[in-house]
Amino acid sequence: MVWPNPSPDGSFTIRLPEYLRAVRLVNVSVYRMNGQKILGCICQDPSADQVISINLTGSGMYALVFNAGDSVEIIKLLVK
């Protein structure tokens, strides 16, 4: 779950799906829709909510990608 979505300022909170919360490390990446990676970080405590703030050059659609072992979750984020 990601909120707020759409985000008015590029800040959002993520709550990982239950099946990813049991993993020790989750890689989180944010991509523009053209495939350009603009953020990469590692959640070392995936059981807690994570707040990520990114500086965006404009509004648009972004892809949040969560990688944990063999699991991948992709969530679309809209920034106004």
**Is beta strand 50-53 parallel, antiparallel or unpaired with respect to 11-14?**
antiparallel
Task: State how beta strands 11-14 and 2-3 pair.
Answer: antiparallel
Residue that the structure tokens 């807690």 belong to: 48
Question: In the prediction, which pLDDT does 62 show?
Answer: 92
Where are any strands of DSSP class E within the chain? Answer: 2-3, 11-14, 26-32, 37-43, 50-53, 60-68, 71-79
- pLDDT the model gives residue 34: 94
Domains of the chain with bracketed CATH: 2-79 (2.60.40.3080)
The yes-or-no verdict on residue 8 having pLDDT over 80 is yes
The pLDDT assigned to 46 comes to 65
The answer to whether 25 and 42 are in contact (CB under 8 A) is yes
Question: What is the pTM (predicted TM-score) of this model?
Answer: 0.79
- Render pLDDT for 15-44 as a digit per residue (tens, 0 to 9): 777 777 777 788 889 999 999 998 888 877
